Every structure is written in C-alpha cells, then in structure tokens.
Amino acid sequence: MTDPGEILLVACYELGHQPLSVAWPAAFLERAGFRPAVMDLSVEPFDADKVRRARLVAVAVPMHTALRLGVAAAARVRAANPDAHICFYGLYAALNAEYLTSQGHADSVLAGELEDALVALARRLPDPGPRVRLVRLDFPVPARAALPALKKYAHLDREGASHLVGYVEASRGCKHGCRHCPIPPVYGRRFFVVPPEVVLADVRQQVTAGAAHVTFGDPDFLNGPRHALAVARALHAEFPALTFDFTAKIEHLLRERAHLAELAALGALFVVSAAESLDDAVLAILDKGHTRADIETALAVTRAAGLSLRPTWVAFTPWTTLAGYRAWLDFIATEGLVDATDPVQYALRLLVPPGSWLLQEPAMRRHLGRLVPDGFHYEWTHPDPRVDALQADVAAVVAAVADRREDAALGFDRVRALAAAAAGAPAPASVGLAPDRRRPPRLSEPWFC
C-alpha cells in the first residue's frame, strides 16, 4: 500500500447525497493498491493537512454548482500545496476543460467512465491521457468508510417523519441527446450498466449505515428497463421495507407504463422527471422527446400506479413568455404539483455551458451573448426585458423562502403574484393549501444542477 496521504479525493457538492463521485474512484484506487484520503466540502471543513500530504488532488465536479465550488477549493489547494497535481473530473470538468487548464485551476481533466484513467494518472503523473473515456469498467463496490456519516446528508421527508437516505447508481451516461443536458456532450448517447450485484452490495453497506431509503442517481433509471427491474426486484427481495426513488424521462414513463405499478410495489415512492416546459416549441428546441400532452399522460399513469411524479423544469428560457410562465404556474396549481415542485424550480434559468449541444441550435444562437469563462456558461438575454426582470425577482423570493424554510405554498403564491404583476394582471387567489396538509414524500435537498 502507498502512503494514505498521497492521493486526496475532494467532493464539493452532490445534491446533498453522500458523494458517489468520490466513493467509486476511491474503490478503484484502493483496488489498485492506493489508500486515498477523502474530503467532502459540502459537509466538512477544508483540511489543509490532508492537502499538504497529497501529491495528487482529484476534485469531483459532476454538476455546475460543484464546479464553482471546486475552483475555489483548487485555489486553496494551490496555496497549501503548490506542488500537488490537481485533476478535475466529471461532466463539468470536460465541458470546461480549456478554461480549467489554461487558467491553472487544473493540471489535468477526466470525464466519462474515468476511474481506470484516474488510477493510471495516480501511477504515472503527470500524463493523464485522453480526457474523456467511454469504456466498460469492472466496477468494485464503492468505498464509503472514510466519508462522513449518512446523517450529514439529505434525508427523506415522509408523512412527517425523517429517514436517512443512501445514494446509488445502476447505470451511467444516457442514450438520449437532450440539447441542454451536460451528459450528451460527454457520453454521446451511450450508457453503461453497473452489475446488479455491485449495486446491491452498495445498498447493503448503506442500509447497514442506517439508510431506510435509496435514491437511484442514474441520469435515467429506465434507459435499460430490464436491468432496472432486475435491480429493483433484487433490492426488494433483500430489503422489503426499503423504499427508493429514481429519475426517468417522460417518454420512458410512458413506454414502460406497464411496469410502474410493479416498481411502486417494489418500494418506489416517487420518480423525478425532467419535464422542462409545457411549451411544445420549447420542448422541440431542447429535443426532449415529449410534448405537453405526454407530461399530462405521465402524471396520470404514475398516479394510477401509486407513484408520485416530481417534474423538474427549466422555468426561464429565451422562448419563455409571460403568458406561458403564468399558464405553467396555473398548471402546477391545477395538477396539485405545488408540493411536488421545489421552489427553486420557479426561478431556474437555462444554463448553456461550453460544449453544450444547444450552441449548435439556431433558435439558441440568436440569443447568445458572451462566454463567461469563470462563470462556466454563456450569457443570454431574453427579447422581452420583463421576463429577465421577473426571473431576478422570482430568484430573490425563492431564496428567501429557502432561507426561512417557509411553506412551499406561500412561496408559490408570491411567485404567482410576481408573474401577474409583470404581466399587468391582478394577482390570482391563493392556492389555498392548508398548513397541516399531507405532503408527498420528498428529499430534504432541492433538485437543481
């Protein structure tokens, strides 16, 4: 075994989950004879001693928020240990590789099915080889022993009780090409399954650590429906009281509707789906593969199956209209989705990072502004300044709601009033949800990128 301080894996933020983006690389490194140290900056302080002992510091950036935090962390790493090799890895590392390396934030970048490449990097600094790897890996069980306890992370709120949550992936990548998604530029419509026995072993260790619920973090759990069902059946057979949630495209929910009731019977409580918009023209630009009518059908079939659907949205795009935004809020109220929608969703603005497939879309290019390298996105301006002003106002409201931990219905009413005022219309009546109402199951950490 090598010095345990030789390699340091750093997580910055993973939607409140214990970071699989560190646990899996740690397992690959341990199998190769290394003993990596780990640090999760979302729940523990920066440890300068760990940094000073490291010759390789690998920073996980699977999402935009993690990248912003990771760049700040890398600056602290450089200050504490100027000789360390810093590798950024993950989806947003690949999209922003030129900036990260040219500005000295990273000495190397890895993405895709990257763990074997990270092991190779640990063996032969400083040559990382190709940045993006799309090869089938021999997956070990993720190494979680050195990570903070599950109680430090997001929990499940269900019927007034709080439960510890584990996080696993049964597949990686995606076979679809939604233009605004960070996955297609890296994976090119490919996905890779994780052997069920590895998934079950990872669940097993998290149940032992106290997990009563598991999130399947696959970009789309139903990319391989037979694989997903096999995993869910094995999970329920071993842990009949364990519940879970997963993510799936609207079109997959419709295609696999015959299996939704079984998934609910196997323990699925809710499914997250990137609905994005009710505007069919916007959905076509994003190449989502579904329509508004499909969203409505998906709500019906998931409810009939006993599943709660938690749609996610891109509320503000260059094609959002005030009328369309207000109609979307009306839809959320009418469909009873206020408690299934994290308030942050009302303010989300389309993110266009470097490498995005949206950059090739004519409907997007006419609205694009400059690349903000240290913001890791392209600016865009809405042709109606009232829409951009509304987005800023809504963002302030939902931030205040989150800070004060207010009832989601109160935040919804405030957002609806702002939208009406922007359109010069009277504020609609309150959605009228009782404070003591029964809410659908949800994770304590809101979904965003």
Residue range 26-37, pLDDT digits in tens? 999 999 999 999
Please check whether residue 2 lies inside any domain of the structure.
no
Q: DSSP code of 103?
A: T
Domain extent, residue 197, equals: 149-313
Whole-angstrom distance, CA of residue 406 vs CA of residue 393: 17
Pairing of strands 7-11, 56-60: parallel
Please check whether residue 127 lies inside any domain of the structure.
yes
Which position has the token pair 């969703």?
345
What's this model's pTM, rounded to 2 decimal places?
Answer: 0.95
Please check whether residue 153 lies inside any domain of the structure.
yes
Same domain flag for 85 and 218: no
Same domain flag for 304 and 167: yes
Same domain flag for 93 and 162: no
Q: What is the pLDDT of residue 299?
A: 98
Q: What is the number of domains present in the chain?
A: 3
Pure H helices in 209-311: 225-238, 250-255, 257-265, 280-286, 292-305
Same domain flag for 155 and 108: no
Please check whether residue 219 lies inside any domain of the structure.
yes
Whole-angstrom distance, CA of residue 399 vs CA of residue 391: 12
Beta strands in 306-384, from DSSP E residues, in sequence order: 308-313, 368-372, 377-380
CB 107 within 8 Å of CB 89: no
Whole-angstrom distance, CA of residue 329 vs CA of residue 194: 38
User: In 3D, which of 82, 51, 60 has the Cα closest to residue 15?
Assistant: 60
Question: What residues have CB less than 8 Å from 120, skipping those under 6 apart?
Answer: 128, 129
Distance of CA 427 to the CA centre of its chain: 33
Same domain flag for 364 and 428: yes
Same domain flag for 325 and 305: no
CATH number, domain containing residue 217: 3.20.20.70
Distance of CA 414 to the CA centre of its chain: 26
The dihedral of CA 360, 365, 369, 375: what is its sign? Answer: negative
Please check whether residue 141 lies inside any domain of the structure.
no
Q: What is the pLDDT of residue 448?
A: 61
DSSP bridge pairs for 9? 38, 58
Per the structure block, which two tokens stand in for 356? 């995005």
Same domain flag for 158 and 299: yes
Neighbour count for residue 217 (Cβ, 10 Å)? 21
Please check whether residue 139 lies inside any domain of the structure.
no
Please check whether residue 410 lies inside any domain of the structure.
yes
Return the H-helix or E-strand segment holding 112: strand 108-112
Same domain flag for 231 and 259: yes
Of the candidates 272, 294, 313, which is a domain's last residue? 313
Question: What residues have CB less than 8 Å from 248, skipping those under 6 apart?
Answer: 220, 221, 222, 256, 271, 272, 273
Q: What is the pLDDT of residue 128?
A: 63
The dihedral of CA 396, 398, 404, 406: what is its sign? Answer: positive
Helices (H) and strands (E) in the chain, counts: 17, 17
pLDDT tens for each residue of 346-359? 999 999 999 999 99
Per the structure block, which two tokens stand in for 426? 């009277």
Same domain flag for 281 and 327: no
How would you classify residue 202: left for phi > 0, otherwise alpha for psi between -120 and 50, otherwise beta?
A: alpha
Whole-angstrom distance, CA of residue 151 vs CA of residue 157: 13
Q: DSSP code of 357?
A: G
pLDDT tens for each residue of 37-92? 999 999 999 999 999 999 999 999 999 999 999 999 999 999 999 999 999 999 99
Same domain flag for 156 and 288: yes
Same domain flag for 203 and 123: no
Please check whether residue 234 lies inside any domain of the structure.
yes
Of the candidates 261, 281, 313, which is a domain's last residue? 313
**SS3 track for 131-200:** CEECCCCCCCCCCCCCCCCHHHCCEEEECCEEEEEEEECCEEECCCCCCCCCHHHHHCCCEEECCHHHHH
Q: What is the pLDDT of residue 402?
A: 87
Whole-angstrom distance, CA of residue 59 vs CA of residue 21: 9
Which position has the token pair 């329920």?
236
Q: What is the pLDDT of residue 405?
A: 87
**pLDDT, the chain, mean:** 95
Of the candidates 90, 109, 133, which is a domain's last residue? 133
Low-confidence ranges of the chain (pLDDT < 50): 1-2
Distance of CA 365 to the CA centre of its chain: 26
Same domain flag for 269 and 354: no
